Structure 1
């Protein structure tokens, strides 16, 4: 027995040393955390099964004691408590010192695609989102081999090896006399470009302010004689220089913005970097068109791309081919099985079928149809909206989808509501809140096209499933769309799925699903039969669509963004138009 005591003592000392070493590895010295959601549960241990000590609200700050996996130990009202790391933002003392101040005059240019932005300086921290190669973000501070930058997801950390640094961030010159129009009510003005900074006042929609500088996420303005900061997505920046100096449209077309606030990007893609915004009613010359995007001069000397489904494009009427410059131009077919007809009419006979990528010499332009040279030497006509043009020939815009939606009765069903929250995302997003936001945005778009739109709920109210179906039947709906967001224990699951129950509902599901995927670039999980009450018991054309996974933290951040909401609703809008057209 006596011989065992030294051995037991050695083992205990080794275990104690290991515990001390492990604790040192996760200790967050001189660190604090800021709560990013309301009514966050503070628990007695690092897990959802532990009792609740109390609750914290958005913006509350606590001293961080240590980190255990996905949980952070904090000092809560004199006791030790635990919070989920994906529901807080970390802020260490080194982030607020001289090092941070020294680095704020530079930008980090990303050198790889899909770079993860994390909540803290290390791979153990939660992922806020991903950013792409070539984008540039303001540097906030550095710590070891990590750099803190200002991103569309908020302040986050990326590995230093994947960035290059530029010089001082350019400020907008006062000689440009830029002003901005506020596009949101009760917009907070802060003393620093951070959601954690103090609010020094508020602005309302329509107010005009002087712009001092801009970066990706924040705009510096003159406010009550001092400098203040507002979110860039809620201001439309304009120059006071004469609009007559804008470049004239090379296509002879102009476009009027139809969205309340539309993001301008540096390239024609949802992956393009946001560089500004424009507001409803503004009109710009169309400089270029590519797929579903158009290039505009949104400020004097500043050019960018906006989604064409939120812009009303008008063109000069074509009175004949002799007035159009088409020399050396070609029409490139966009879809397989495209018809080339004998005359410039969709009622004319088909004389040739072409496939995606086929190129034809343009001979003339007749209204919205190109006369093209066929392989056999003959000529035919192809609709201008199913081709893209190379050369000097003017592009033709597809006739508006609104003509197919006029007078249609469409019932929108925002999932859940009231006491039924639906699923709750990894970051705290409640399904019932985001479904109503999606439905209201879509309703505005459909109504502007002349559709008769009914929402099963317009507020945070509970509505039984049979009542939702009853609304569809009572209004003899031409289409019923039930809007949801998905969830699964697998936090890597992502993508959109559309469901139908009855065979006659399948075509509507196919049209909506394909357009949503095209507009959002979400992972395509397909459209399929599903046994859901609101479509099973529905005698009208009805579908249920899951617009992304709230259980995936990265996808949750994406689907909650204004840009995604615009794209998703545009996809449903176009899908409905295509269905009714057919």
Structure 2
């Protein structure tokens, strides 16, 4: 092959048009490469659909599967994988055991136990969302660990969080529904004679457009009373649910889990990356540094109590406010907590902890956690209404905690101390335990 390439190079070297020579050489090489594959190893025809992956790893991204009757070219084997040139001329990897054979050999089935379960391309909560399954849907298990279940999804594979399913021995029951609507196929059709498209998920926000009955939109999110839709390729908008009909069943609010062990909790360390949050004259660190530190410690504590915990960020990176809430919605979280440290106009003007809520279903969560935080020896400013995007756009009960002032000297001394950070972690986690245990009942103050 190398001698052949040298011959081609020499043959074209005398040509005046160098660009044409290079292009012609490229065509010849590609043709020879394809011919070499066909002559050397022999083309093969697929008798049944086979998945193709980007690498020879079990968690690799799936490529376009090879359909029945299509031809591919094997290159060589690598362990339990075969490297191939697919019909779409992509280099990929096929398991030597086909997906159909894996499915047939499987002796385990996953049954969705939560109200919904997200099917993702990779075993990662931030991986591409393929579809959302409903409670009772069943899937063939291909592999499993404590965090993720690898399942057969339609003609390929997907990953479901282990906390969202019950896995048992056996096969999928006859008549069991394993279908789900991919996010890209979720649409609404305007049923009102005229509907307003809002810039945000409330009717006091700017009206972007008025649309007529029959207009359809792709749905990118579902909030309490609104669908979030793709208005155009650059802009999302919100339409009231009462003005449209969906081709899927929106997620409805359900009862609070009876135990923290059955809960999914999203913790949002405020700010991050290029957004430092509040700064201070009393420390070189910024708000973003302390929110991340406390959030990580809280996540560890809650995981130890059996909760399924997701952090919106795990390093010094930034995520938009909308995407923080969107992550909680995609994960069908039971609780969303955004952690912050406050600041005021003048140094040492204000002090203490404040709990913020937006919707009425946030209030109980805010009050239960704030009740627990009162056990810390710092001023407590109680519960207050807060019109924050992360609260407005979150489907689940949500709270934003300001845990001290960055421009109060005494507060900063506490915030920097390991003791105070531990107190915050234990008081918040105790509040969450009581929230689930008492089914969100607002704590009653004892009267003498």
Give the TM interval when normalised to the shorter protein.
0.3 to 0.5
TM-score by length of 1: 0.30
Which structure carries more relative contact order (alpha carbon 8 Å, separation 6+)? 2
TM-score by length of 2: 0.39
Which has the larger share of helix?
Answer: 2
Which has the larger share of strand?
Answer: 1
